[in-house]
Chain A
Amino acid sequence: MRPDDTAWGDPVDARLIEHLHGGFPLVDRPFAQVADELGLTEDEVIERLTRLLARGVLTRFGPLFQIERAGGAFVLAAISVPEARFDAVARIVNAWPEVAHNYRRESAHRRGGGCACATHRASAAATPLNMWFVVGAESPAAAEAVLQRIEVETGLPVLRLPKEREYKVELKLPIAEAGRGAV
């Protein structure tokens, strides 16, 4: 999926998405309650959500689990993947259901960022850590088992960066404003 900042800009969708950031009601007919709050109909709310999910504007609608609270673990991991093998390695990594998301990343320092410090000179010489993914599993041991299997299947070392402390999760971005900007 490539960045796309022009495909979307319906103000009702924007209000709906912002309203549904959290606090979805635990009542018999929650979509009807949301519809009342927004001056829409129940059918319209369900139809819009279905469409937003189908178009990929929303990646998900439902409960977001914090599996650490039940003994589980999320581990951020990174691999330096040679360019010629990138797609094949992505297929191996993505095939694991425990891989919750996976991004290709590039360092600002590799694009003439102008940083000449020793750390960045050294890292610029090596293959960049260009694949970044998160493994979520029911226990730290289960997460580690997946990471080890990925190392075996890809033949590449995986850098493990587990969360040690959380200062903030999930900013609510000003979506309605972004929607207007994108029109």
Chain B
Amino acid sequence: MALSEVDRGLIAATQSGLPLVPRPYEALGAALGVSAEAVRERLAGMLASGLIRRIGAVPNHYKLGFAANGMSVWDVADERVDALGARVAALPGVSHCYRRPRRLPDWPYNLFAMLHGRSRDEVQRQARDIEALLGSACRGHDVLYSTAILKKTGLRLRED
């Protein structure tokens, strides 16, 4: 499925966010040359198709008191990673959970779980819970803590 011209226009017009005015969809429509109703219909359509995951606020976890952010990474047996990944995803504190390829010898880990806590101790406890859940299926792990946000803008499409 390729992007339609209207969808592309909507992505470009909202990539830095919705206009903070009483009638944001009307403002978007005016910028794109369509009606407010057409904007709402397309946004609803993109929500239904999953192209839009949600419409809402993206918090800066640091400023909300979740000062510790750890990317926990695990080397899990291939035949068990999908079943275990789904269970890891359900643990409290896990915000995102993905399977990614190993890149040997540089990178031996195939399961990623993002952990958030008010302190590194809290994140370490979450990592220990994952370690217990994975048991013998796990051959090694690491936790990479973020120490600075260098950039956080979200998706930007090229204008050209």
Contacts and interface: CB of A to CB of B under 8 A. Distances in A.
Interface in B1-48: 1-3, 7, 10-11, 14-18, 20-26, 36, 40, 43-44, 46
Interface string A33-77: 000000000100010011011011111111111110111000010
B36 to A, nearest CB: 7
Nearest to B143: A108
Contacts of A4: 62-63, 67
Interface residues on B, range: 35 or more
A54 to B, nearest CB: 10
Contacts of B103: 159-161
A12 to B, nearest CB: 14
A61 B62 contact: no
A159 B107 contact: yes
A173 B56 contact: no
Given A49-B20, A103-B146, A59 B98 contact: no
B101 interface: yes
A103 B63 contact: no
A182 interface: yes
B55 A64 contact: yes
Contacts, number: 291
B156 A107 contact: no
B2 to A, nearest CB: 6
Contacts of A31: 20, 22, 24
A64 B53 contact: yes
Interface in B56-107: 56-71, 75, 82, 85-86, 88-90, 93-101, 103, 105-107
Contact of B63 (A20, A56, A66, A109): A56
A148 interface: no
Interface string A160-174: 111111111111010
Contacts of B154: 59-60, 64, 100-101
Contacts of A88: none
Given A26-B43, A61-B58, A169-B53, A69 B1 contact: yes
A108 B8 CA distance: 41
B155 interface: yes
A149 interface: no
A17 B3 contact: no
Interface in B88-136: 88-90, 93-101, 103, 105-108, 112, 116, 118, 124
23 contacts: A22-B56, A28-B26, A52-B57, A56-B63, A58-B59, A60-B153, A61-B17, A62-B17, A66-B50, A69-B51, A93-B151, A101-B149, A101-B153, A102-B151, A109-B142, A129-B107, A132-B71, A164-B101, A167-B88, A167-B89, A171-B95, A175-B59, A175-B64
Interface of B: 1-3, 7, 10-11, 14-18, 20-26, 36, 40, 43-44, 46, 49-71, 75, 82, 85-86, 88-90, 93-101, 103, 105-108, 112, 116, 118, 124, 139-140, 142-158
Given A100-B156, A133-B151, A179-B65, 12 more contacts: A22-B56, A26-B25, A58-B57, A60-B58, A65-B53, A120-B140, A136-B155, A138-B3, A166-B97, A167-B97, A182-B64, A182-B65
